[in-house]
Amino acid sequence: MFCTPLRLSTFTDNFAAALQERLHWSRALDADIDARVAQILADVRQRGDAAVLEYTARFDALHVDSMAGLVLGAEDFAQAFHLLPEAQRNALQFAAHRVRTYHEAQRTACGGDWSYHDEEGTLLGQKVTPLDRVGVYVPGGKAAYPSSVLMNAIPAHVAGVAEIVMMVPTPGGERNPLVLAAAHVAGVTKAFTVGGAQAVAALAFGTASIPKVDKITGPGNAYVASAKRQVFGIVGIDMIAGPSEILVLADGSTPPDWVAMDLFSQAEHDELAQSILLCPDVGYIDLVASAIDRMLPDMPRRDIIAKSLTDRGVLIHTRSMEEACAISNTIAPEHLEVSSRDPHRWEPLLRHAGAIFLGAYTSESLGDYCAGPNHVLPTSTTARFSSPLGVYDFQKRSSLIEVSAQGARTLGHVAYILAQGEGLEAHARSAQMRCHALE
C-alpha cells in the first residue's frame, strides 16, 4: 500500500496556484437534502412528538410506542458510567476534569459583568448571563464520539446553562455506553435517542416531550448540518463544520514518525480531511514521506488515510520557517502544530488558526481528548473570523444604560440633532423631552 501526498515547493513559479487548487473544497450544496430537511422541519414543527416517533422508526429502525421510550436521564448516564471498564472510566473522568478546568479559566478570563460611570453620573456597561437551555447533538452509529459530548456539554455547564439536552440517535436501539457515560461526567441533564433533522427540529421548535432550546451545538451528517443551517436565527447554532484539517509547521527537529502519525490522525477521520506539512528542510520532508509509506500498512483505517493523503494531503518545501508561517496564515488551519524546538519564536507570527499546538510533545490528538481546550474548532479558513467553541458561546450579553439627569441634557441635545438628520422625529422628541429634569 502506498500513498503519495502531493509535493509542492515555494521555489516554483506556480506554487500559489497549485496550493490554492489543493486547498479548494466546496461544500456540496445539495438542494435535494435541503428540501427533504425542510419537510422534516415543518412536519416536526406541526405534529411534534408524533412526527419524531415516526422519523425515528423510519430512519433509525427504532420502534417505540411513546416518547417515554426515547428518553434517557441521569440514572441511565450514571449506570453506563459505572459499567465501564475502570481504565475507560478513569480516562473519561480525567479528560472531563481537564476540560472543565480549562473552561473555568476561560470563563474567568473572558470577564463577567462590567460597568462604569461617566463624568455626568451616567452608568454604562453590560451584564453577562448564561443561556437557559441548550441542545447538544451527538452523532450515533459509526462515528459516535464520547469526546464530543465532553467538548460540547462542559463549556455549557461551566457557563451556567441550567438545562443541557442531548440528542443522540441509537440506530436499531443500540446505545453507545461511552457516549452515555460521557453525558454523566459532562453534566448533561437528559437525552433523547433521536437523531437527524428530526432531532434538530425538535430542539428548535420544541414538542410536548422535547423542550425548545436556545442554541444547538454539535456535529452531524449532511442532514443535521442542513437542519442547523435552516433553523439558524430561530435558535442559535455553533457552526457548520467542514472537513477537518491539520497543518504541521516543522523545523526538522521532531522525529519524522511523530509528524507522519499526526498527519495520519487527521486523515483517518474522513477522506476529505486535509493534512498539510510545511518545512524548510527538504531532507526532513523525505523522511516524513518514508515514515508515511512505512507506517501506513499497519493502520486499521489505512484506506481512508491513503485516500485522504493522496487526494488532499500536501507536503510543502518552503524557503524558511517565516515563509511557512505566512503560508499558514493564508490557510487559517483548524489545527496548527508548530513542531519546532523553538515554537515561541513562531507563535507570534501565526494570526489565524483554531488551535495552535506548540512543540514536539503537543500532538493534536492530546488536544482532541484531554489537554483541556475545546476540540470544536473553526474549519475551512473560518478561523479567520471565528473561534473555538467556548464558554462564551453559551453566554450572552445585555447592554446596561442609566442616564443621569445631567446626562439626559447633554446626550438629549446630541441625539436630537442626529435623529433629525435621519428624519426620525419621534426619536428626536423622545430625547428632547428628557432635557428638562423631573420636578
By CB under 8 A, the residues from 210 to 239 that bind its own copies are 214-215, 232-233, 235-236, 239
Lookup: cell for 197: 433533522
- How far apart CA 186 and CA 192 sit, in angstroms, is 16
93 is in an annotated binding site: no
B/e letters for 349-375, b = 16+ CB within 10 Å, e = fewer, are: ebebbbbbbbebebbbbebbbbbbbbb
Q: Which of 353, 366, 303, 304 is nearest to 327 (CA)?
A: 353
Lookup: cell for 18: 497549485
Of 335, 337, 364, 375, the catalytic one is: 335
- How far apart CA 149 and CA 384 sit, in angstroms, is 26
438 exposure class (CB count in 10 Å sphere: 0-12, 13-18, 19+):
exposed
335 catalytically annotated: yes
Binders of its own copies in range 292-311 (CB under 8 A): 299-301, 305
Would you say 36 or 397 has its CB closer to its own copies? 397
- Candidate ranges 49-57, 151-159, 319-327, 373-381; the one touching its own copies (CB under 8 A): 373-381
- How far apart CA 384 and CA 387 sit, in angstroms, is 9
Task: Strand 163-167: give its sheet, edge to edge.
Answer: 71-72, 190-192, 163-167, 133-137, 215-217, 236-237
Rounded to the nearest whole angstrom, what is the least distance from the CB of residue 102 to its own copies in the complex? 6
> Cβ atoms within 10 A of the Cβ of 212, count?
15
406 is in an annotated binding site: no
266 is in an annotated binding site: yes
352 is in an annotated binding site: no
Rounded to the nearest whole angstrom, what is the least distance from the CB of residue 305 to its own copies in the complex? 7
DSSP class of residue 119 equals T
Map residues 90-129 to x or -, x wherever contact with its own copies holds by CB under 8 A. Answer: xxx-xx--x--xx--xx--xxx--x-x-x---xxxxxx-x
329 is in an annotated binding site: no
Binders of its own copies in range 312-341 (CB under 8 A): none
223 is in an annotated binding site: no
Is 431 near its own copies (CB under 8 A)?
yes
Cβ-contact 268, 301 below 8 angstroms: yes
Number of alpha carbons in the 13 Å side-chain half-sphere of residue 89: 10
Rounded to 5 degrees, what are φ and ψ at 404? -80, 170
Rounded to the nearest whole angstrom, what is the least distance from the CB of residue 236 to its own copies in the complex? 4
Would you say 28 or 68 has its CB closer to its own copies? 28
Is 388 near its own copies (CB under 8 A)?
yes
DSSP readout, 380-397?
TTGGGT-----GGGGEEE
Would you say 278 or 338 has its CB closer to its own copies? 338
Binders of its own copies in range 139-198 (CB under 8 A): 144-147, 178
Is 387 near its own copies (CB under 8 A)?
yes
381: left (phi over 0), alpha (psi -120 to 50) or beta: left
Binders of its own copies in range 20-79 (CB under 8 A): 27
Would you say 56 or 363 has its CB closer to its own copies? 363
Binders of its own copies in range 250-269 (CB under 8 A): 255, 257-258, 261-262, 264-265, 267-269
Is 423 near its own copies (CB under 8 A)?
yes
What is the sign of the dihedral through the CA atoms of 317, 319, 325 and 330? negative
- Candidate ranges 48-56, 196-204, 282-290, 405-413; the one touching its own copies (CB under 8 A): 405-413
Of 334, 337, 364, 375, the catalytic one is: 334
Is 1 near its own copies (CB under 8 A)?
no
Lookup: cell for 352: 489565524
Is 434 near its own copies (CB under 8 A)?
yes
82 is in an annotated binding site: no
Instruction: Give ∠ CA 129-133-138 in degrees, rounded to 5.
Output: 125
Would you say 57 or 83 has its CB closer to its own copies? 83
269 is in an annotated binding site: yes
Binding site feature residues for NAD(+):
137, 198, 221
By annotation, the residues acting in catalysis are 334-335
Binding site feature residues for substrate:
244, 266, 269, 335, 368, 422, 427
